[in-house]
Amino acid sequence: MPGCLASSHWYRAMGWLRKMLAPVSTSKSMGIKNKGRGSPPGSTSAMTSRTTHSPNGKKLLGELAVLSPVPVYIRTHNLFTSGDGSASLKWGSTNVYTEDASGEPIYDWTIVDRIFDTYQELGIKPLVELGFMPKALSVKPEPYRHNFPEGPIYTGWAYPPKSYQKWADLVFHFVKNLRERYGDVTTRGWLWEVWNEPDIGYWQGTREEYFKLYDYAVDAVLRALPGAHAGGPDTTGPLGDSAAEFLHVFLDHCAHQSNYATSKTGAPLDFVSFHAKGTPSVENGHVQMGMRSQLAAIRRGFEIVTSFPEWRNTPIILGESDPEGCAACSAQKHPESAYRNGPLFAAYTAILNQIDTELEWRHRDEA
């Protein structure tokens, strides 16, 4: 979600990620929403592309970097979204991809470089989210920019590409540009994921079309940067049956099914990511937090991942782990969100961190 602090959670980390992940508490700051515990390494913030290099965004990221004893990872939405770079609720853009009159790609890394230069300047590492769909590549480009909270939000940026080869070429040149700008050692220390919450409206294609998107993207990442660590699918909380099924089928695809890009069996998966959200409500004029559903989503996600022998020892990242799921919703219209502006937020986070750590170790023992 745009403008949201996120923290990633690790579980049964392999050697390379074990060195990168470390637990750290996070806190709400500047109206940006806290998203959980632990991270690769430190805390991981989910922000729009515009927020990242704005004065307030740089100030926040600098504060996070200073507070963390290990590098902070940042997860930025809208890295491929078309537009002039201006920001609004749940929106950001970089205009990395357009086409000329003959349909040939035109790549522009101006805004992207500004974002990643900010990371480098502050000593922060990215969890690079490959998305969303550029207007010139979308199978349904109009309407494109939404006006949240008015009207539909899942517009042209949420649709599949008109050409998966052009999508792969975009990812390849994007990664190649970053590798050349920042070097092999730096970029191999980053994490790479494909899209955000493809099990809901963020992805307007089919499940199989997302798997195809993933296969082409990860293949392109590894061609541009051999040795890169890529994963996904960053689905919504698997407490719901639909999200749980999507995660399960995705893991099966990566383990057993034909790869759309390479025609080999399976797809690279260096970490598994999903989200977990609580369900606060207003009871007798007071906000009552709903931690049970958040913890239940984490536990069910663990169970789904460890049900696959192939992924039982694979790191798990909670890409978003929140007391609730409406990051851009006003507490005026959603009074249950009033917890954000008081000590309840910090208390909730501290308790959640302790309990989900216990869940982590319990599932380590059971796996």
- Residue for token pair 């349904």: 140
Q: How far apart are CA 113 and CA 126, in angstroms?
A: 13
pLDDT confidence band for 49 (50 / 70 / 90):
low
> Is 50 exceeded by the pLDDT of residue 219?
yes
Mean pLDDT score across all residues of the chain: 85
pLDDT confidence band for 51 (50 / 70 / 90):
low
pLDDT at 325: 84
Those residues whose C-beta lies under 8 Å from the C-beta of residue 268, and which sit 6 or more positions away, are 218, 222, 230, 254
4-34 per-position pLDDT tens digit: 333 333 333 323 332 333 222 222 221 122 2
pLDDT confidence band for 42 (50 / 70 / 90):
very low
What do you get for the CA distance between the two ends of the chain, in Å? 31
Residue pair 260/317 in contact by the 8 Å Cβ criterion:
no
pLDDT confidence band for 367 (50 / 70 / 90):
low
Q: How far apart are CA 172 and CA 179, in angstroms?
A: 10
Look at domain 4-366 and name its CATH class.
alpha beta
Please report, for the chain, the start and end positions of each structural domain, with discontinuous segments joined by +: 4-366
**pLDDT mean over 244-249:** 98
Q: What are phi and psi of 156, to 5 degrees?
A: -55, -25
Q: How far apart are CA 171 and CA 217, in angstroms?
A: 6
Residue pair 94/86 in contact by the 8 Å Cβ criterion:
no
Report DSSP letters for 183-200, one per residue: -HHHHTTSEEEE-S-TTT
**pLDDT mean over 301-322:** 92
Nearest by Cα to 37 from 356, 366, 359? 356
Distances in whole angstroms, Cα of residue 145 to Cα of each of 4, 157, 180: 20, 8, 31
Residue pair 194/218 in contact by the 8 Å Cβ criterion:
yes
- Indicate the range of 126-135, 169-178, 261-270, 332-341 predicted with least confidence: 332-341
Helix or strand (DSSP H, E) at 127: strand 125-130
> Is 90 exceeded by the pLDDT of residue 53?
no
Q: How far apart are CA 63 and CA 68, in angstroms?
A: 9
- Residue for token pair 């913030």: 45
251-283 per-position pLDDT tens digit: 999 999 999 999 999 999 999 999 999 999 999
Q: How far apart are CA 66 and CA 72, in angstroms?
A: 9
Torsion of CA 51, 56, 62, 67, to 10 degrees: -100
pLDDT at 48: 57
Q: How far apart are CA 363 and CA 37, in angstroms?
A: 17
Percentage of the chain surpassing pLDDT 90?
61
